[in-house]
Structure 1
Amino acid sequence: MQLPTPSPARAGARALGAAALVGLLPAALLCPLALAPEPSAVPLAAALVGEAVLGTALALLMAVHLGTTARVAGIGAVASAASLSAVVTALAARPLAAAGDLDLPTAHGLLVVAAGAACLVVMALVTASHARGGRDHRPRAAGVLAAVALLLPAAVLARQLVPGGAQQLLATALLVLVGGAGGWAVVQGVRSSPPRVRQVPWDGDLAVHALSCVMAVGVLAFVDVSDTPVPWLLGVVALGCVGAKVLLLQRELFVLRGVRRRAHTDTLTGLANRTALLAELDAAAAAGAPLAVLLLDLDGFRRVNDALGHRAGDEVLRSAAQRLVEAAGHGAVVARLGSDEFAVLLTGAGAASRPAALQTAAAVHEVLGETHEVEGFSVVAAAHTGVVVEPAPGGTAPLDLLRRADVAMHWARTLRSEPVEHHSGLDDAVRESVELVGELRRALDGDQVRLHFQPQVDVLTGRVRGTEALVRWAHPERGVLTPDVFLPVAAEAGLMGRLTSVVLEAAIGQAAAWDRAGTPVPVSVNLTATDVRPELVDEVAQLLVREQLPASLLVLEITETVLVVDPAGTAAVLADLVELGVEVSIDDFGTGYSSLEVLLSLPVTELKIDRTFVSRALSDLSRYTVVRSTIDLAHGLGLRVVAEGVEDDDVLRLLRELGCDVSQGYLHSRPLPAPEATAWLAAHADPAPTSPHEAVPG
């Protein structure tokens, strides 16, 4: 157990104070007494004062370098010295008095000084034994303090036992040496900021105190206080000090327990943190019991932070943590690893079996997919979950388990799927994804990003009403890649902004080319949530001016997800775009979570019904109802309606009956490269000017 290491400034202040006490006080007290003409008990008392000062210095030295506190070290030293003194004085005072022709109080004093010096020597040696070599001054400091502790009783004995003037000279020299050497030792021992060191073993510390208690109790039990009260009083002091140290140690243990708990707990959620999880993984792997690790992050959490602030983000994290604990079940270790990343550790043959782990992962995925009510907003922060199951972990490293779970989580995020269990093929897939990111960066810098255009036609007349620009990647080795292959990679790598800029530039350039050729056709471009930012307005305006394209021939499509993240900010950006003359369309309407109130607040001119409703409108009554209601709602609001995914004449006929305005799908044309799209438009050109507003019922 390691207590906090004092700061260098505090350690230095203690060193100077201790040096002054050790260097000046003993010499000031003892040197004049050494010159006293007659022997007396005063030098004994002064020697005890000197030992107390030396003990204080050693306690400070131990507090700085041995991971304890000065109070605990000091009280422990007093307890040891008092118990030893009690036994020594009880057993040896009378023999010493008889042998040295001393009175009994003087013999008691000499033995107490000698016992104190012995304890000081032990303290110094303990400090030295836990020191390291090199430039560490603690061994030398402890050694000098041990010598000083032995010099004190020598000086007192010289004062008491050596006759004549020689005693004065000898005692004075010894006591001056005590002061100077003690001061030098403390300064050398504490002058530099100490490194982290080992703690004095608890078992040895407890053994010393147990021995002190036994000696003190023995003295109290067998020594007659009326015959010789000094040992008895020393025993009482020893027991009192041991009790005080036990109380202090209990208090320190309580503090350390709180420190350890905080060091292993995430302060925001109250869950275990990464350190605690790694320790649990170590223990589970060492035990060899089956285990499973679920690693997950929250989709869209950063958007919540950006749109609603960090307080709202913290609420989402606390809510997610509570749901995780409930879904993981009893016995699971749930941890927050950082930001929006969580982990669940399942152990035991039951909970960590493959079916049980996947069932827990599915439960976690389900509860985290529910909305969070935060500051009046319904926020969705679904989880991407990776699962690792280890039937017999053996010596598996915890970091390797987390790495494999992270690989599975990465794949779940890429596929936007249910929880994904790790297998060896995923490692290859992730490496391929990493390679794909590098290739995509080079593609954005080159000319590999291409646009295909899918025509949109009037449901009633069949005239061309517009085109939608759909991005493709002309990979030099893999051929033409569709967005579902590389858009998740681009989003994860933070390349969506650059990709959107490339698409906007190409789409506006192609629309301008058609306009100059006399076949003006509106072009729709899809935007993500990260694209709808104030800088987008300037970017679009500059491109329109550079290509000399009328703004009415550009339609920007957003999904309902964009509206949920930051309705106010989105509305402001879209309003600025509309001021330029650009039209705004809501793509995949009906698949998101936007409310009609949000819809009414936005300057949109078009709704696009998602293909999942259109393609099955004839076979599914509920989807037919959604299509019909959406068309009626949009026309009631004065909006144009585009139906996506039209693939046969029966669906087109139904859309015509329901009053839909524009049709888009493989029935008319697949997405075409720009040259083929130009030819298609020329073949289906209408002499009348094309305007996307004409199909709106008047």
Structure 2
Amino acid sequence: MLRRAIWPVLLPVLAYLGGLGGMLTVALTDVPAGPVVTGAFLGMQTLGIVLAAWAALDRHLDRARRRPWLLILLSWLLWLSAGAGVAAAATGGSRADGVLWWATVIGTLVQGPALFAAVLLFPMRPMTGRERLKFALDMATVAGGGFMLTWYFIIGPALSRPVRLDAWTSTTLIFPLEDLLVVFGVCAVLLRGAVQSLRHPLATLLGGLAVYLACDVYMSYLTVRTGVHPYQNEHQQLGLGAWMLTGMFLMALAAGQQIRAGLLGRVTGPARWPRGVPGTAHLPFLALGMGYGLLVAALRHGDLFPWAGLVLGVIVMTGAVALRQWSSLRENQRLATTDSLTGLANRIRLRDALDEAVDSGDAAVLLVDLDGFKQINDGYGHETGDQVLVELADVLRRSLRKADLAARLGGDEFAVVLAGITAPDQAVMVAERILAGARDVRIGDAVQGIRMSVGIALTEPGLVPTEVLAHADAAMYAAKRRHSHGWELYAQTAEDLAEGLLADELTNAVRGGRMAVVYQPIVNLADGRMIGAEALVRWPGRDVFPDVFVPLAEKTGLIGELGMFVLREALTHAAAWRAAMPEFYVTVNLSAHQLREPELAARVVAELDRAGLPARHLVLELTESALVTDRTDISVLELLRAHGIRIAIDDFGTGYSSLRYLTRLPVDVLKLDRSFVGELNGEPEGSAVTEAVIRLSQILRLSLVAEGVETEAQVRELLLLGCVTGQGYYFSRPLDAPGMDRLIGEVSGQPVHT
């Protein structure tokens, strides 16, 4: 098969070399040029007919790739007949017998459209509606420039002379118009990105057309300027013949390449461009510059007559370019306010819509967040996840009116602005339509539906856009807490007002330095020796527990300040305690919200340097559920570990992660939740989970700390199961800094003051 596939490419090469050899012989001897050039042309045209017919009928190619070669076959046949007419006319035959003349004219009239249609039948990049408009305007610019070029050099000068209905005048006017049509097709193919590789047969075909068309235009130009056809001059006939033979060779070679690709089971070469050959997008600007250059040249040399063609070309090009720029400007404005993945509005456009909604007073905002989107990405891949987001965007479009706006905030969060909402029920109906439409979303290869939470907030007098969006966000999180795949309507109750007052107090306490840090010792269970302590935040003077004010700090965005306060206090004290106990380390709780801060690692390292505490003496704790949320930035944890800081999972066993997450997360320590330690009663049933976690930590080579140790029996059972580190009331309640000073002083025998 490989040997057979060589011949379709080798035959055009041999014919081309033979033709050039014959022309070289003419140049070096007294052999007449006419018969040799004509013979070379007839041989290459015959071979082109054979190869084009082969490509058009080749069963190795699919139907779409065979169709263009049928029209190219027709072009070769017409080309052969037209060539005979031109040769006869060149020798005076057409003046004696008009049959060949008219055969030439008719063949030329049909050949151009056939080639034009052939190149357009090659597979091309599909276009959107906006791309089709840009393409049409670009082609109008190219057509205007090509027409001006043809008019300036050929048609205009030909029309400025007395018109004679003979072979030369007719073909002089017809050939350029036919060539212009083919050039138009070539530019269309290039702008549409059909040529994806220089090895593609279409690339070779277009190269051959370009060479042949250049020769054809130059021949018409010489005929108009001198009144003598180049074939009647032996030197011109020989030079043009060599170039025209080159164009024919490339076109025949293109058919050979297509046949060879079919025989070898290949269609194109490996080199590809996503939008076609680089530089083709500049064709309209090249045509525009050329057109204006011709107009300037005509004005300078007084060759404007007849001027109508140049002016018409300038008008067409200028109008097309102006419309193209206007379309591009609108497209740029659209892209600046549109999400690239879903085609919905982005934050910029949403902000404008929110401003209008708040000004109108009768509007509602829906905040939509997917439930379990991370599991979709992990289970099916990010491409499927992106497709889910695109399909959800379609659900939103179908569920809204034209006056409404849907936007993507980022990730799996969407916002909807509903106009003309006078009652909450109207917004609820839209939310229910969205939830119902989400059940038909395809995930992977099946329609499984997606689950989401929707928060609804109505605009009210006195509210600014950010407040309305914050209300919708609060309602959305309430929907997540209460149920999955549902909606919640924001309503500010007395409880909400009380929470707002508490948030203000908390802000003042944090920024006024009125928070405190206490420490619970971490001990070696075997001998009771203290090896570290966990830093815990307290609010002195207020009977508010951390499980209340810490989530409030997260909700209000205060958690960053509170977390850094605890870290700074803990590191300062730990550095002093380490002087008495060299192996002492401190653990500090870290909120998942803090992980979203890109500068977190740098700030922690800076605090370590300030306190003079080595990084290995700091452990940062996150809850298990916080570690596996969609928004967790694992790269921040990896950066912290790279500095030597250890990472612990707090309350392990109570979250919803899988072992697959645990093996991927940058974790050093597991902290066994107190609920499992409390079940230890000496019976196998009570120790099952604890034993499993201990074995898991051993297999993964992770340290394990048992929380909530309250009895000696629990200590003995933990040691029996293999856990050697723990903390709890059995050893000590949380102590303030002076209390820790006294305890460490007693243990180490050295006075400690922090």
Please, what TM-score do these two structures have when normalized by structure 2?
0.40
TM-score normalized with structure 1 length: 0.42
